[in-house]
Amino acid sequence: MYTTKLQLTLVILLLLASGMFMTTTADAQNVHALLIIMDADGSIGPEMKLDQGTVEKFLSYVNTFYPVKKEAYLSSMGRARGNDVLNWIRSVRPGSDDVVLVYYTGHGGMVSNTDRRTFLNLEDGRLYRSDLENAMKSVSCRLKLLITDACSSAPDPPGGKTVPFGAQIVGKNHIKNLLGEHQGYLSISGATEGEYGWCTEAIGGSTFTLGLMEAITERADDPTVNRAANGDGFVSWDEVFALSKEGTKTYFEQIYPGFSTRTKDDLKRRGITGQNPKAYSMPKPRRYGGGFRNSASDIFDSLWELDNPQAGFNINVVPDKTGYRIGDYLTLRMNVSDPCYVTVLNWDKEGTFAVLFPNKFRSNNYIVPGQMEPFPHPTKDHFAIRLPGPVGTERFKVIAVRTQAANNALQNVLAKSITRKPKDDFSKIGEIEGRMMAEDSILDELERLHGVRRGDWSVSRTSVTLRK
């Protein structure tokens, strides 16, 4: 019998870890995870083990940043029973900033076309999802995640691909976006009520879990890949879910040709034309004024959006014009209210991240108040900054620190994070994971400085449009 498939796996997992980013004592936060795996099921047991491996591999990755306290209730061990699950939820004692994750993978269904309550099939019978929801309400913590991946077995397709989690690009900054910079409740299912969900060993598990796993990459914010993306550099759960829906649809269409005539007739009779994941609720980005995610925690937003409302001095940067053509030379003008050391960063349209100043031509980055100082300076600097393209927006971020010690520390971080090739005039990095690591290193250093002397650093940003 085919059953409705409700899948929430990876999301819960990720959200669970998100509790780790919200306070200055983030490393002390814990993720409490319960995995309910129906691995003894005669029809879908192997696929459920694949889902378990996917989730546990991700949790292992999360554990490198935040402590994960995990329990697995396997039907092969006689532990996947309704009361066991509900008692675990009722007895878990998370801290106020902890995250609790409950993830289920196995068979499930809907009562009827008129009674659209969904349920999970455990060893001792049905466990209604509404009962899980009610149990979760009794848990007190910052973030609660319930992911139910209830599926039926599907005929094996003639071919397919396995997409291991390790093949995905999930940088630290990306994890911060999804886990540390959202708040609220994520509740999603792999199929809308009345639909089936599908899984097969040939594609490596469940269609929605794979679609979701693939969506949890930097691609989710790329408008060329995800029609719902805004391309602002921040990966949101809305963007991830939209992309996961497309991925689920693709996997369904991949396995559909392998369905038996009986299965296809059943789908036609029921009016089921595909698999459409559903969101019951979505978390919201934790964005506060002044670039802080939480003014009490002093945890920063992405490097581009970073600001410091508590800065003890001001820096302002403007381009000499807002529109440039490919091949033009750039001039920025900076003005500071106090003497300081200045670092100029740049991102081009393709995301390449570069350190424009200080550089091999001029290492002295100390400037004093006065008129708007041009950069590059016509007499102090013996270099020019040419804009080679591509067409699009060029972004510039200026970081100013008051003390030489703070400047030395920041330059050391930059030297370790971004290397300059002999043929290049400036240090730069283009590959996504390396860029994210470099940006995180800069943020970590500024966070350290902020914890010591909040007024001793300031930032400014500007952008220009580059056309042919």
Low-confidence ranges of the chain (pLDDT < 70): 1-28, 151-173, 175, 184, 217-218, 286-302, 431-434, 436
pTM (2 decimals)?
0.52
Residue 159 has what pLDDT? 39
Closest CA to 71 of 105, 36, 34: 34
Q: What residues have CB less than 8 Å from 382, skipping those under 6 apart?
A: 361, 362
Backbone phi, psi, residue 164, to 5°? -70, 150
Question: Which two tokens mark 303?
Answer: 């490097």
Residue 432 has what pLDDT? 59
Residue 431 has what pLDDT? 67
Residue 218 has what pLDDT? 63
Q: Per DSSP, what are the bridge partners of residue 150?
A: 106
376: preceding bond cis by omega (within 30 degrees): yes
Cβ neighbours of 302 (radius 10 Å):
19
H-helix or E-strand containing 417?
A: helix 404-417
CA distance 81 to 103: 14
Residue 27 has what pLDDT? 36
Q: CA-based angle 138:142:145, to the nearest 5?
A: 70
Do 79 and 73 meet the contact criterion of CB atoms below 8 Å apart?
yes
Question: Which two tokens mark 7?
Answer: 């899948």
Q: How many residues does the chain have?
A: 468
Closest CA to 44 of 116, 142, 152: 152
CA distance 418 to 355: 8
Q: List pLDDT tens digits, range 155-182.
A: 343 333 333 443 344 556 676 777 777 7
